Structure 1
Amino acid sequence: MDTGPDLGKAEAKCRPGEQGPALLVRVDGLKDRGGNLKLEVYPSNDDDFLQDDNILINAGKVFRRVEVPVPAKDPVELCVRIPGPGNYSVSVLHDRDTNRKFGWTVDGIGFSANPRLGWSKPKAAKARISADGGITRIDVVMNYRRGLGMSPLPKS
């Protein structure tokens, strides 16, 4: 069984010519091309959204993870397999320092449905997306520390 940072990766890996069910996530607004991107799929409820992966896996709940080096150029798209049609909440971490955890002064974060961020994580309903049985395309805009909060970078 997978442990630690590899939990959820085997189930998440898209196959060549993937037909689904899967999410194709386009990541926009990256600050730079350093580090890794970590995409995670959660059940879309407040108790489970952003919950510890060990807890979710042990309870038999949905958890998927894809982790890749940041691609050198656009478009940045990540494919992640999901168990089936339904509602999910997705997070994308731009782990600029590659320490595998979110550091609000360094890293970027984005969520499905692109909720406005404050000082706390969004409610699952604000990050909820509905997936069908094929390939569901979504866009995630990254947010970085700006002043006293987190927000997308200004368009250049």
Structure 2
Amino acid sequence: MRTLAALLVAAAPIAAAAAAPAAGYLPSTPDLGKAEAQCRPGETGPAVLVLAVGLKDREGRMKAELYPANEEDFLADDNVLIMAGKTFRRVEIPVPPSGPVQLCIRLPGPGQYALVLLHDRDSNRKFGLSTDGIGFSNNPKLGLSKPKADAVRFTAGSGLTPVTVRMNYRHGLFGFGPLKN
């Protein structure tokens, strides 16, 4: 019983980071930020081209969410950010059966941003601690709390900015990290 309780305590911050966009006093709206985020065919920017690496499998959907790169707004409720006129973008795609897994997100302009990428393996739009994957821009090592905005901050230019995100999945009772090859 102590082991299960310890697992829940240790994993709670990772689950909270994944669920943070849905947390808060307003319900998360799955389509918020999507219209502004969709890259156009032949997109030249400003945009971020996210390459997901280290996926557990080719099941489900990928969801990328873009936030302002500061502690107050990183992983804040999507409704609150949009109502305050702050940057929030969301792109979802089915995981392709083969080839690179890429998502393109249009940006409001060059600047500093923070990105979270979810591998929703069962496509239920909820983070499953034991099944789903999560990754962040700059690929910080995941510990017992969500990463700081400084650790995931990246700078986007006026064109296409490539960002590679290594996915993390639960390992054993307490671990959360990239898959071992």
The TM-score by the shorter chain falls in which range? over 0.9
Is 1:70 aligned to 2:95, yes or no? yes
RMSD, matched Cα: 1.0
How far residue 74 of structure 1 moved from its aligned partner, in angstroms, is 2.2
> How high is the sequence identity, in percent, across the aligned residues?
63
Structure holding more strand per residue = 1
Is 1:122 aligned to 2:152, yes or no? no
TM-score by length of 1: 0.95
Give the letter for the 2:165 counterpart: V
Contact 1:36 1:94 in 2 (8 A): yes
**Aligned counterparts, 1:1-150, within 5 A:** 4-147=29-172, 148-150=174-176
Give the letter for the 2:114 counterpart: S
How many pairs are equivalent?
153
Gaps of 5+ in 2: 1-27
How far residue 104 of structure 1 moved from its aligned partner, in angstroms, is 1.5
What SS does the aligned partner of 2:30 have? helix
CA distance in 1, matches of 2:139, 2:168: 9
Contact 1:119 1:149 in 2 (8 A): no
Give the letter for the 1:53 counterpart: D
How far residue 98 of structure 1 moved from its aligned partner, in angstroms, is 1.4
Contact 1:62 1:83 in 2 (8 A): yes
Give the letter for the 2:36 counterpart: E
CA distance in 2, matches of 1:149, 1:59: 36
Give the letter for the 1:26 counterpart: L
TM-score by length of 2: 0.82
Structure holding more helix per residue = 2
Give the letter for the 2:73 counterpart: D
Contact 1:29 1:152 in 2 (8 A): yes
Gaps of 5+ in 1: none
